[in-house]
Amino acid sequence: MVWEIVVAVVVVVLAGGGLGGALVVSRRRAARALEHPPAGLPQGPARRPPAAGRAGPPVPEVPGEASAEPSGPPVAEPVLGAVAEPVVGAVGEPVGGATSDVVADAAPLILERPRFRDRLGKARNLLASHLAGLRGRSKLDEQTWEELEEALILADLGVATVGSLLASLQDLARKDGLRGPEQLVGALRQQMVALLAGDRELHRATGATTVWLFVGVNGVGKTTTIGKVGMREKAEGRSVVMAAGDTFRAAAADQLQLWSERVGANFVRGNEGGDPGAVVFDAVQHASARGIPLVLADTAGRLHTKINLMEELKKVRRVADRPPGSVTEVLLVIDATTGQNGLVQARQFTEAVGVTGVVLTKLDGTAKGGIALAITSELGIPIKLVGLGEGPEDLVPFDAEEFVDALLPAE
């Protein structure tokens, strides 16, 4: 009799409290899932512990109607004491004092490339004014060719380069029957792009420490160019060593050191008035010992007419080319505003140290632009970098088509 009563009670409890018990079990499972989420899932906010002296709401141990929790959604408790992750800087280190969930840009050093067309307005306007009379003509007569010749010479292309261009254009006019000045200017644009063709790459050594040697006369911007090149290399994730090979001007070494600190590059300098070759040699050894692949070596500004100074520059190049170093680029820095004098410099430095490429600075100023064609045409030296302004981002790889389009835009 007793067992029958017990069985009847259990049946009643299960029948009447089944729904409530299922809710309690479901709620307990959900609570445990929040408190102990599976591995790999993001953790939720920390819950505030119950205040001292207060117990949390009782959780019934036995399912039943009287102990069932409400069937509605749970009410989240307020979050206290949650600490956000620190902001991560460019090198992955926390920035002191930052308490934000936002992660900073991984590469804050962004060098936005300027457009040639935006920076060569002065040169373009000057050439356009010289070509204005030519564009107004209806046919290609003798006077048209004379006006074109004058315009190109005034644009600093040089007599030899202009003569070569005109001969090619006149031959093209006879064969293809160019009609009118607009077709002539279009053909001139194509000839100029072809003339500027060349190897634009800045070469690197294999199995040795690469050395790029920067040469040129005083005041053309060698030291600043090295700083900007170093910044571009660092922005692309490569380490560099800057060598202050201009030991005759203390301000040059100080200036390059400031650039190295700004860029985050290693820096090697010597005593004022010391041997520049020794400085470059030490920089190569320093880079090789630390596994740094590139040395940017400054040299003293030299008059290209001074034989003894050019001989010393030859020595610097020989020293820089000794193992573990390898000189893959000798970059001649030329102020584009010097015009045809830049061509004389290029010729002398090429004979002395084998210039592999030219860096034209200050092209955004009063430069007429034609010197780029003169150097490439007469000496076969490619223009590799050009300066279109004062900022680090304004030193850009040379682009022949963009350069010509900036000087001779299509009407």
pLDDT tens digit string along 301-327? 876 567 788 888 999 999 999 999 999
Q: Which of 35-39, 148-152, 263-267, 387-391 has the highest mean pLDDT?
A: 263-267
Whether pLDDT at 33 is above 60: no
pLDDT for the residue 61: 41
- Per-residue pLDDT of 327-343, as tens digits, reads 999 999 999 888 888 88
- Whether the predicted pLDDT of 43 surpasses 80: no
Q: What is the DSSP letter of 394?
A: G
The CA distances from residue 405 to 133, 222, 323, 369, in Å, are: 20, 28, 43, 12
Question: Rounded mean pLDDT of 243-272?
Answer: 93
Higher pLDDT, 295 or 147: 295
pLDDT over 70 for what percent of the chain? 71
Residue 333's pLDDT is what? 95
Q: Look at residue 278 in the predicted model and tell me its pLDDT.
A: 95
The pLDDT value recorded for residue 74 is 39
**Predicted local confidence at residue 87, as pLDDT:** 26
* Residue 248 scores a pLDDT above 90: no
Instruction: Please tell me the predicted confidence (pLDDT) of residue 101.
Output: 27
Q: Give the pLDDT score at 156.
A: 87
Tens-place pLDDT, residues 199-218: 999 999 999 999 999 999 98
Comparison of pLDDT for 106 and 5, the residue scoring more: 5
* pLDDT surpasses 60 at 157: yes
In this predicted structure, what is the pLDDT of residue 341?
Answer: 86
Is it the case that residue 132 has pLDDT exceeding 60?
yes
DSSP one-letter code for 213:
E
- For the chain, list the domains and their CATH numbers: 209-355 (3.40.50.300)
Report pLDDT for 4: 52
pLDDT per position as a tens digit, 261-278: 999 999 999 998 899 999
**Range with lowest mean pLDDT among 25-29, 273-277, 337-341, 399-403:** 25-29
Question: Which range, of 175-179, 195-199, 291-295, 399-403, averages the lowest pLDDT?
Answer: 175-179
Of 62-66, 233-237, 300-304, 404-408, which has the strongest mean pLDDT?
A: 233-237
Q: How far apart are CA 196 and CA 375, in angstroms?
A: 9
Q: 3-class DSSP state for residue 124? A: helix
Q: Residue 132, by phi and psi: left (phi above 0), alpha (psi -120 to 50) or beta?
A: alpha
Mention every residue, 6+ apart, whose C-beta is less than 8 A from residue 372: 196, 336, 358, 360, 383, 386, 398, 403
pLDDT above 80 (res 288): yes
pLDDT at position 411, please?
58
Q: What percentage of the chain exceeds 90 in pLDDT? A: 43
Query: For residues 157 and 51, which has the higher predicted lDDT (pLDDT)?
Result: 157
Residue 39 has pLDDT above 60, yes or no: no
Mean pLDDT for the stretch of residues 134-158:
86
CB 169 within 8 A of CB 188: yes
Q: What is the pLDDT of residue 338?
A: 85
Are the C-beta atoms of residues 69 and 61 closer than 8 Å to each other? Answer: no
The string of DSSP letters for 220-259 reads S-HHHHHHHHHHHHHHTT--EEEE----S-HHHHHHHHHH
Rg (CA), the chain: 37
**pLDDT band, very low/low/confident/very high, at 294 (cuts 50, 70, 90):** very high
Compute the average pLDDT of residues 116-133. Answer: 80
Q: Looking at the DSSP assignment, which residues form a beta bridge with residue 297?
A: 213, 243
Has residue 96 got a pLDDT over 50?
Answer: no
pLDDT at residue 100 in the model: 24
